[in-house]
Amino acid sequence: MSVFCLFLLLGWGAAAQAQDPHIQRLGQELHSREQGLRMQAARSLGLASAAQSVLLLRQALPGERSAAVRLEIVRALRNIVFLRYPGYPEALRVLQEESSDGAEADELVRLKATEALWEAGKKDLLDPVPVLRRNLGDRSQRLRLAAVEMLRKLGTPATIDALGQAAVDQAQPETVRLKAIEALGATAQVDLGPVGRQVQEENIAMAGRLHTQPLVPASTLETRHQLQIRYLSALLRDPRASSSLALRAVKSIGQVKDRSSVPVLREVIANHQDEAVRLQATKVLSHVLARQYE
């Protein structure tokens, strides 16, 4: 009997929260004729810790003609996610919709929704890579460049395919391709370093003695670097790639410094028509070969 009463009380509490008169009034103001009132209502709903806030904000989006108000709604949803208020998983779904040019016409609104999802990804609330990969096809070049930058800042192995495909995609503007190539090289900076490599080696040795799997397999970093080199090599072997793209690719290979790049560097030194690219490849090759003595 006591358990039944507890469930009944919880049910009444949930119903009371869903019918909170203050939240309901804010929801009504989202449909006010005054734009300023609608914007303030969105801000206030973003501060109210109730799942009902998300429902009201979502319901207001399709009929809201003002990009400024939609932007406030996105900011409110971002606040709910950031503070992990009740309803934040649904807020994440709404933000994913608003980050797409198929659902949202305004460039700034899409950008802010994408940034909110990227922040949520850093908190392990979702995987932002699929959204960023999709936004590499956004009709706005600004959004494509922003997606590349966010992928670069993530710097995880999961970002390499998305960046690599953007780098070799001839349909992409050269500005986007250059940034994607640069980001491919920058992800190599997430290296373990001398101390980290020593810890890794000790962990692998200990795992061998205990007959268990190491925490950081030695192949993990190498596989990632080889995938980077594969994309950069494909670009360097493409005769349609401009000298600017080729030069940036060689520089990125120099950041990765993986021995799997030796064959393509030698090809570039022997065959590329641009002297600047050949000279850069020569420098990078010497650095790659010297790394074995580090």
Mean pLDDT of 141-154: 96
Burial class (CB in 10 A: 0-12, 13-18, 19+), 76: buried
Which pLDDT value is given to residue 155? 86
Predicted pLDDT at 291? 74
DSSP string computed for 175-243: HHHHHHHHHHHHGGG---HHHHHHHHHHHHHHHHHHTS--SS-HHHHHHHHHHHHHHHHHHHT-TTS-H
Percent of the chain's residues with pLDDT above 90: 71
Indicate whether 15 pLDDT > 60.
Answer: no
* 99 — pLDDT class (breaks 50, 70, 90): very high
pLDDT surpasses 90 at 200: no
pLDDT at position 188? 55
The residue-averaged pLDDT of 112-140 equals 96
pLDDT of residue 48: 86
* pLDDT tens digits along 42-52: 999 999 878 89
Average pLDDT for residues 96-108, to the nearest whole number? Answer: 96
Write b or e for each residue in 18-53: b if 16 or more Cβ atoms lie within 10 A of its Cβ, otherwise e: eeeeebeebbebbeeeeeebbbbbbebbbebebbbb
Summarised one tens digit per residue, pLDDT across range 229-248 is 999 999 999 999 999 999 99
- The predicted model scores a pTM of 0.79
On the question of pLDDT at 17 being above 50, the answer is no
Summarize pLDDT for 209-233 with one digit per residue, the tens: 666 665 555 545 556 788 999 999 9
